[in-house]
Amino acid sequence: MSNEKFRYVKLWVTVGIVIVFWTIGAGFYHDSSATSDETYKGLKLFSDVIELIEKNYVEPVETKKLIDDAIQGMVHGLDPHSALLSPEDYKELQMDTQGEFTGIGISITMRNGLITVVSAIEGTPAYKAGVKPGDVIISIGGKSVKDLKEAVSRIRGPKGTKISLTLMREGAAAPLTFDLIRDTIPIESVKAQLLEPGYGYVWITNFRESTTQDLVTALDKLESKTPLKGLVLDLRNNPGGLLNQAIDVCDLFIEKGTILSIKGRYDKNSKVFTAHPNVNKRKYPIVVLINGGSASASEIVAGALQDHKRALIMGTTSFGKGSVQNVEPLRDGYALKLTIARYYTPSGRSIQAKGIEPDIVIKSEPVMPKEKSGTEAVVKMPKEKDLENHLAAEPNKGKKKSKSGSSIQEDIPEALESESINGPLSPDTLQSDNQVKRALETLISYDIFKHLNK
């Protein structure tokens, strides 16, 4: 081993010893010594493996890549949501939470080993060209692609540049090729409209820096037209996002009490979030729509409104991601996304690997046109409980193994799948959405019943 590598390992060992002693304390010297010895042996083995690979592998390899891959493997072994973020990944995460990117406007996932379109964002180049949910991506720019991360990287690019996608579509006799021009893709996290006089509809697609303010603006606009008798809050296929935005959205509809509690190993990662009285008190009834693509921050909102009896939850059971990740910047532009706590609804429920169960179960009826085969395609996507190394609902209960993996979506920071190939519906298609229609009927019925026998 070179002197440089030996100093590198020695430094790692020294840091490891310092951390162990600082954490455990001198009163446990024997245990600390054993742990330090184990750390040293592990780092020595790690160094030996790198040296053997460098000297004997069939092709030249970069030491930096070996180390990056080793760290990534270590972090991924913890749970599906912890990850080492490369400088490029970290920049994309920051960009995604701020509101726009340049690309063609699709979200993709891995299904049965194939890169599959989950949805095309309304108004984007992909949407206008006719890319549909369920399309399988064969090649990008004339080159085959099998890795999700690579696919996202190749789809994104400078505004105004060209990209071609070759797709396979169920019922099509031959592959379809789309020549698209990349554009700035605004990520609108809130869309709203009146379903009919007095009944509003708000669709939150994800939780970003401006979500709460955008929601307030949307509600003010709806309420200015006519006093609202009820609201449909659509969180279907909402993969989550920023925790503070989920808390603030809940606070718009809850006047007091706990919104959320998070509990980690240490007090610094544990906290209780409470509601505050609102100047504008929105007391109208709410129906929240969820499905298997509703995860993380969207489950926080659904769980809080459900526990406070503030909303009726309708749809199908949510994804079940009940953990909180913190992103810690590292040197050289890297960052570590690490799971630091589980979160609990106001009543103390952990939804980790369980999900939020709706008060009324209403399954979605496909609204996609039938293909030549004459069949409707509905695909069950994995949930949190299906992901490899997912956390148990409570601490000290072990992790569960699964052969399923997670996915990457082009337009959102948290990679989750929806429960069918139908993506979130745009407001223009609400009239054919059976879950929205049922939610509206419920709100109208409630308004009728509360006025009976008066």
Catalytic residue positions, numbered: 296, 307, 321
pTM: 0.72
What residues does each domain of the chain span? 3-61, 101-185, 190-405+412-450
> What is the rounded CA–CA span in Å between residue 384 and residue 390?
7
* pLDDT at position 240: 86
CATH 2.30.42.10 matches 101-185: yes
* pLDDT at position 162: 96
* pLDDT at position 34: 62
* pLDDT at position 431: 81
pLDDT at 286 over 70: yes
Section 335-362 average pLDDT: 95
**pLDDT (tens digit, 9 = 90+) per residue, 166-210?**
999 989 999 999 999 999 887 778 999 999 999 999 999 889 989
What superfamily would CATH give domain 190-405+412-450?
2-enoyl-CoA Hydratase; Chain A, domain 1 (3.90.226.10)
Domains 101-185 and 190-405+412-450 share a fold: no
pLDDT at 419 over 70: no
* Pair 199, 228: CB distance under 8 Å: yes
> What is the rounded CA–CA span in Å between residue 367 and residue 371?
12
Query: Looking at this protein, which amino acid is placed at residue 173?
Result: A
pLDDT at 17 over 50: no
